[in-house]
């Protein structure tokens, strides 16, 4: 089997986000960027499947500026075999555009499984995996918390849904999106980081796909969330009940 793993370069999850003074977006200058955490889980799952000989090749795909090569290299250092960067000068692309590009790359690469994060932590869209599955007409198993390959070329995927856990069986080729509890991604070792420098990354211009990348959405304004009032500590249960009754008025 061949896996196509999609990774997005986003602001590191530890960074305190700052909104630009003109409210047009968030500051990205001199800000630490990393691989989207759900995508690290996607790479990790592919690498584990390769270690079990269920997957032969892992292709790491990112769509973004030249700097996204760093993100692809991180995936290669974790165990990816080669990378593809679809290069654009635009800092942000909409999920529909990204979905169309992933479909086009999938048409060329013919993967058996496409693994994406359930959502990117910058736009929180949670759309791309579903769009890719729809465009390719592949079955999709989203929010995966467990993944098992069967001998009959199907995958059994446990999904985290509101009511608990749901297990679905999907035919290959398919799209899987990862949830937090699927695995704990490894840290790349120094030798593997060095080895990853030799791995191949194909760079393709977004224009070469002949895909309309025009935005359908217009961001009107970005604002900081309202500041939360600091919490207080109460001495005992009696004081807590008193406050809930008389101040919060929720009892």
**Binding-site member from 79, 117, 139, 185 for ligand AMP (CB under 6 A):** 117
Beta bridge partners of 170: 155
Work out whether 26 is an interface residue with ligand AMP (CB under 6 A): no
Work out whether 38 is an interface residue with ligand AMP (CB under 6 A): yes
User: Least Å distance between CB 7 and ligand AMP?
Assistant: 6
Closest to ligand AMP by CB, 77 vs 115, is 115
Q: How far apart are CA 65 and CA 217, in angstroms?
A: 20
By the 8 A CB rule, do 17 and 72 touch? no
**Binding-site member from 65, 126, 154, 192 for ligand AMP (CB under 6 A):** 126
Q: Considering only 72-80, 119-127, 135-143, 164-172, which stretch makes contact with ligand AMP by CB under 6 A?
A: 119-127
Closest to ligand AMP by CB, 64 vs 235, is 64
Beta bridge partners of 177: 116
Closest to ligand AMP by CB, 222 vs 239, is 222
User: Least Å distance between CB 33 and ligand AMP?
Assistant: 12
Beta bridge partners of 171: 154
Q: How far apart are CA 70 and CA 193, in angstroms?
A: 11
Closest to ligand AMP by CB, 25 vs 242, is 25
Q: Considering only 117-125, 147-155, 181-189, 204-212, which stretch makes contact with ligand AMP by CB under 6 A?
A: 117-125
Non-local (6+) Cβ contacts of 37 within 8 A are 13, 117, 121
- Contacts (CB under 6 A) with ligand AMP, residues 42-101: 61-64, 93, 95, 98
Q: Considering only 1-9, 77-85, 137-145, 150-158, which stretch makes contact with ligand AMP by CB under 6 A?
A: 1-9
* Of residues 53, 56, 51, the one with CA closest to residue 4: 56
Give the N- to C-terminal CA distance of the chain in Å, as an integer.
Answer: 57
Closest to ligand AMP by CB, 61 vs 235, is 61
By the 8 A CB rule, do 13 and 34 touch? yes
Element (H, E) at 146: strand 140-149
């Amino acid at each position: 089997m061949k896996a196509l793993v999609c990774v997005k370069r986003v602001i590191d999850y530890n960074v305190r986000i700052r909104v630009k003074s003109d409210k047009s977006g968030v500051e990205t200058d001199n800000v630490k960027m990393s691989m989207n955490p759900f995508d690290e889980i996607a790479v990790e799952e592919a690498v584990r499947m390769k270690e079990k000989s269920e997957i032969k090749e892992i292709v790491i795909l990112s769509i973004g500026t030249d700097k996204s090569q760093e993100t692809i290299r991180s995936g290669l250092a974790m165990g990816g075999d080669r990378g593809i960067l679809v290069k654009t000068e635009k800092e942000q692309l909409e999920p529909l555009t990204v979905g169309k590009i992933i479909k086009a790359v999938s048409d060329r690469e013919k993967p058996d499984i496409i693994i994406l994060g359930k959502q990117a932590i910058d736009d929180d869209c949670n759309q791309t995996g579903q769009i890719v599955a729809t465009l390719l007409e592949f079955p999709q198993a989203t929010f995966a918390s467990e993944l098992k390959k069967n001998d009959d070329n199907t995958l059994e995927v446990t999904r985290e849904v509101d009511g608990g856990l749901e297990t679905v069986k999907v035919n290959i080729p398919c799209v899987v999106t990862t949830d937090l509890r699927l695995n704990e991604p490894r840290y790349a070792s120094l030798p593997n980081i060095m080895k990853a420098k030799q791995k191949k990354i194909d760079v393709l211009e977004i224009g070469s796909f002949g895909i309309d990348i025009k935005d359908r959405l217009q961001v009107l304004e970005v604002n900081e969330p309202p500041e939360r009032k600091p919490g207080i500590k109460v001495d005992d249960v009696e004081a807590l009940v008193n406050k809930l009754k008389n101040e919060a008025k929720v009892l």
